[in-house]
Homo-oligomer: A and B are copies of this chain.
Amino acid sequence: MNNETFNPASQPSVPENTSSIVDSLAQLSYVIQSVLGRSGAVYDLSPIQLRLLGILRDREPSMKQLAERLELDKSSITGLIDRAERRHLVERIPSPEDRRGFNVRLTPDGRRIAREIGGEIERRIGELAGVLTEAERGQLASLALKVAEARSGPD
């Protein structure tokens, strides 16, 4: 059954038949994280640095906004950005609106790496999803998005 996750033999809790969906989603998320991890490793990026680059592809958030999105303490963000800046992946831009704050953005180097690694991930997850038919992939994408957005809320 390949269950390394948590399906506690389940008394029904919220909806019916919870255990199956819980377990398969947890399982899937570990597989995806593993794929992301390998893709990042190709460019010597940790999971959190990889995620940072992903976020910054189309945003220039403040330190505070990064803390909220990554669910990390602001002091953790300081260190994260310090290390990314040391590698010339990102840069702090003084906020034009608040002299206490900074916005963070990709450097040209950072953007190039983000693009390359994006291709890597695309290839690897695409391969993974290759076990599904085109119709199934569409279904899965749609259902996954629905769940994901239920939680984070659409932009």
Contact = CB atoms under 8 A, between A and B. Distances in A.
Copies in the assembly, this chain: 2
Interface stretch (A32-40, A75-83, A89-97, A100-108): A32-40
A90 to B, nearest CB: 15
Chain A interface size band reads 35 or more
A87 interface: no
28 contacts: A1-B154, A4-B54, A6-B57, A7-B122, A13-B126, A14-B122, A15-B126, A16-B134, A17-B134, A17-B137, A18-B126, A21-B138, A22-B125, A22-B126, A22-B129, A24-B140, A24-B148, A28-B28, A28-B144, A28-B145, A28-B147, A29-B29, A29-B33, A31-B151, A35-B151, A136-B146, A139-B143, A140-B147
